[in-house]
Structure 1
């Protein structure tokens, strides 16, 4: 019966905020469901996925550069100051006219009409450009890099949600145990009060137990607040509104720790997203080097233009279709780079250094992963050893408290012995749940180190 009451109280603690907010129905969540919800609703992940979609759009942008480029223009204007050109007077000299321009002089002549108009449609098609072909490959690789970056962010979110979830579970279990302690100590206080009323116990015995009970209630209040904070942190990591109450469905005793992951031999570094990211970065560096080298290759374009133009000293002249002259052009253009001041030469040197540094990064990353694996394995091993020891200590403390209570009630033990046993029991409980939390965190760290935290 006491077990059922304490479970009910624990649920009320988890859902207490919901009753103050209109008795909103709590969301039942397992760890797997919590991670799934976070991957779908975490704002930071949504922003990362937007970057991934932007990278995909970048591929389309680069591909569009190889498609026909077509544009049309319509131009009509008033040459309100008509440009003039100089002609030698020899061309305009009339020997019979003394007022005509003389040889050796220059006469300004207006060739530009007052109004001009032009209608043109042009098209160009890229036939060959080495940089364009490599750019397409680089864009696809960049998209892959963006996708892997999203995966890395998802793994980090899964890690944060897992740790927050376990924190709530441990706090809830500790809250439940505190409820049981209060019930047990309150019963003992009542029995001691009866013994005092009957002259069997001293007032000092009652006061000591009352102090213990008061301290336990204060600890309960602190734990309840910490439980609420842990729950709020979980909601934040999930991207869940703070007003939404939750009810965790997993139990600590159901948590499975895969011991085969400890000290893995012949570890596949490709399981780590960081290694896969570095491989993609190496591919990008190689493509960048090829792209710069392709700048020495010629570029070939197909161009075409077609249109009409008109000219008149009166505006209505350019509005008449009969005054327009037709023209057209089609041809190829070959651009051959000759000398760029050694700019590409120095760019190639920089790109080679970047590629070399990327390759050197693999050895550093492998060493880092090896260290992380060993460290995570040692931490989990130590945490499990501590947990086993604290579990044994807790069992001993519970037995000591039980025996001390019986001895006191039968008049063969002291009240001070009971109080000391209760204090030791609470310390053992605190140490046990701290060890349990450390073991769970070490478990998550090892799963992240082995690349198994978030299954594909």
Structure 2
């Protein structure tokens, strides 16, 4: 009996463990989507790490002004001892002869501590300033990535919303056509409609089903893109809480001096301005290579030699020195001159890029404002069009039921209503997308 119970428990355990758990659906507003993206987006994480690396570059640049301390130790074994040469007259040889002597022990130990302190190096200050500018530029680059992430997440969120609304719109159209098919069959049974009308209604219903299937698939695709942009796992289930709507009372006022605002706020502009200053420092840094370098140096050293390894019998005499070391560059094959010219050309490139970027920003501001205003005008027009199309569909449907209008007239009225609603949704989507893009262009993110 007990083995049977154990088998049943084991079977239940396997069934439970093998059964996939229901994924918990995460409600998601656009604001929450942006917050999650700022935490989990990998591009932003890489940019943040680059900023942290730039902080270490500043620390490295400052280290060149600090003393350098190094310790060294060396052991040497001489199978053949070192040779020294003396005049031959010291041992009774001729004046032109040399006498050779092997000196020292078979084992030699050498150890010491060396210190070097820069006193004057023209490039240290420029290097520190260049590293600080690079740090600021990396911060602006991170802000640029952050703005791109926020914009991409908002656009991806809006893509999901409009795809869901288009699906809902087509489902409404399917419901109207299904009802029209039922009405056609009922009228056919009463002898008030032709078989052709019923066939047309059936074809209209069946033509909508592939579109709905395609939109269902498109909803999943846009959700996947949104989750990838946010940095979420693809298996996570999300439920969008916002809706694709247009608040007429929340329409922003016309922009005043939008180009000036964009230039003042855009991280791309700040980054290029800092890059241009950085390139100027690079010129100073390369020019400093022509200047002499003065350092204070010192050494404390101990050495010993013997023919055995009895270290306790060794003598360890100390020697030391302190002094100044001056290095004066004279000629290095025009390398310094070439590096200076490269830095000058790089600065000219950055100046041209900055000028070009400002013109690009000017065009982006103008285009974004134009797109937003055009979408707002389309919204106002499509609102009226939808109302007229709804009225026209109701009138045509009633006339068709009374036998006054044809089935073709009803199909045209239903198609016009669906198209009008679709155009209205597209206008709202275009307005919201243009508003998101305008915020990025103006540097408000």
- Shift of residue 271 of structure 1? 1.4
Q: Spell out, residue by residue over 1:126-178, the C-alpha distance to the aligned partner (whole angstroms, 9 max, x if none).
A: 22322112111111111111111111111111121111111111112222223
In 2, the alpha carbon distance for the partners of 1:165 and 1:417 equals 38
The residue number in structure 2 matching 1:190 is: 182
- Find out whether 1:272 has 2:263 as its counterpart: no
- For the pair 1:311 / 2:305, whether they are aligned, the reply is yes
Q: Check 1:21–1:441 CA distance in 2 against 1; reply closer, same or farther (3 A cut).
A: farther
Distance change (3 Å), C-alpha of 1:192 and 1:370: same
1:412 aligns with 2:424: no
Quote how far apart the aligned CAs of 1:263 are.
7.5
1:42 matched residue in structure 2: 41
Where 1:305 maps in the other structure, the secondary structure is strand
Deviation (angstroms), 1:380: 2.2
- Does the aligned pair in 2 maintain the 1:38–1:237 contact within 8 Å? yes
Q: Distance in 1 between matches of 2:393 and 2:427?
A: 21
Q: How far does residue 119 in structure 1 lie from its aligned partner after superposition? A: 2.2
Distance 1:401 1:275, change over 3 A: same
Q: What displacement does 1:238 show?
A: 0.9
The SS at the match of 2:205 is: helix
Decide which moves more: 170-179 or 140-149. 170-179
Which moves more between the two structures, 174-183 or 226-235? Answer: 174-183
Residue matched to 2:284: 290
Tell me the residue number matched to 2:164: 172
Q: In the alignment, is the contact (CA less than 8 A) between 1:261 and 1:450 conserved in 2?
A: no
> Matched residues in 1 for 2:22 and 2:182: separation?
36
Q: How does the TM-score come out when normalised to structure 2? A: 0.88
Q: Distance in 2 between matches of 1:331 and 1:48?
A: 46
152-161 or 437-446, larger mean C-alpha shift:
437-446
1:247-301 residue CA offsets vs partner (Å, 9 max, x unmatched) = 1111222565434238836445121122111111011011111112222333222
1:30 shift after superposition: 1.5
Residue 257 of structure 1 contacts residue 443 of structure 1 at CA under 8 Å; is this kept in 2? no
Task: Return the alpha-carbon distance in structure 1 between the equivalents of residues 254 and 152 of structure 2.
Answer: 23
Change (3 A) 1:192 1:262: farther
Matched residue pairs, number? 425
In the TM superposition, 1:430-449 aligns within 5 A as: 430-449=422-441
The 2-side partners of 1:294 and 1:128 are apart by 11
Displacement of 1:404 in angstroms is: 0.6
Deviations 1:394-420 (A, max 9, x none): 222222111111112233322221122
1:265–1:40 Cα change, 3 Å: closer
Q: How big is the shift at 1:341?
A: 4.3
Give the direction of change, closer, same or farther, for the CA distance of 1:451–1:352 in structure 2 (3 Å limit). same
Conserved in 2, the CA contact under 8 Å of 1:306 and 1:328?
A: yes
Post-superposition offset of 1:447: 2.0
CA contact (8 A) 1:175 1:224 kept: yes
Map of 1:86 onto structure 2: 85
Structure 1 contact 404–421 (Cα < 8 Å) conserved: yes
Does the residue aligned with 1:300 lie in a helix, a strand or coil?
strand
Cα separation, 2, equivalents of 1:432 and 1:263: 31
What SS does structure 2 have at the residue aligned with 1:323? coil
Q: Provide the residue aligned with 2:255 in structure 1.
A: 261
Residue 28 of structure 1 corresponds to 27
Question: How do 1:251-400 residues align onto structure 2 when only pairs under 5 Å count?
Answer: 251-253=243-245, 256-261=250-255, 264=258, 266-316=260-310, 319-320=311-312, 323-400=315-392
Matching residue within 115, 131, 137 for 2:129: 137
- Whether the 8 Å contact between 1:129 and 1:300 is mirrored in structure 2 is yes
Output aligned runs, 1:96-175, within 5 Å: 101-175=93-167
Contact 2:262 2:443 (8 Å CA) reproduced: no
* Partner deviation per Cα, 1:321-371 (whole Å, 9 max, x = no partner): 651111122222222333444433343333223223322333222222111
Using the TM superposition, name which of 279-288 and 376-385 deviates more: 376-385
Unaligned 5+ segments in structure 2 are 1-18
Listed one character per residue, the Cα deviations across residues 215-240 of structure 1 (whole Å, up to 9, x for unaligned) are: 22332222211111111111111111
C-alpha contact (below 8 Å) 1:42/1:239 kept by paired residues: yes
SS where residue 80 of structure 1 aligns?
A: coil
Residue 197 of structure 1: how far off its partner (Å): 1.9
Corresponding residue SS for 1:252? coil
Partner Cα separation in structure 2 for residue 175 and residue 245 of structure 1: 19
Give the aligned CA root-mean-square deviation in angstroms.
2.3
Deviation at residue 303 of structure 1 after TM alignment = 1.8
CA contact 2:244–2:428 (8 Å) conserved in 1: no
Q: 1:266 to 1:198 in 2, by over 3 A?
A: same
